Amino acid sequence: MNIRHKFGNILTYTDGITFHSKKEERYYQNLLLAQSAGDLLFFLRQVPFHLPGNIRYVVDFGEFWRNGEIRFVDVKGFKTRSYITKKKIVEATYPIKIIEA
């Protein structure tokens, strides 16, 4: 069952998981392939970052690669003002860079 969201994305369901867009679902499928190939050790979905002012930002994926690389990825089709602001705060608060896919 697919449900259209206000930004035009369609909620999809795979492996019992709800994804906010088909793009996010495809990204998930690619992570599964990388994991089965042995390049990706494991990944986490919906990783929360706690920010000043009791604000919470959730990134779509935290990835832990075999080569030691750790990546935090947000799958975006549309960048809202809120997303841009919170991303800047996360990157200023934590020693990470959020990658947009």
Query: Given CA atoms 20, 22, 24, 25 in this order, what sign does their dihedral have?
Result: positive
Across the beta sheet with 55-65, the strand order is: 40-51, 55-65, 70-74, 98-100
pTM over 0.85: yes
pLDDT at 4: 53
Least confident stretch, 10-19, 38-47, 91-100: 10-19
On the question of pLDDT at 54 being above 90, the answer is: yes
**pLDDT computed for residue 20 by the predictor:** 86
CA distance between the termini of the chain: 24
pLDDT band at 12 (very low <50, low <70, confident <90, very high): confident
φ/ψ (deg, to 5) at 25: -65, -45
pLDDT over 60 (residue 92): yes
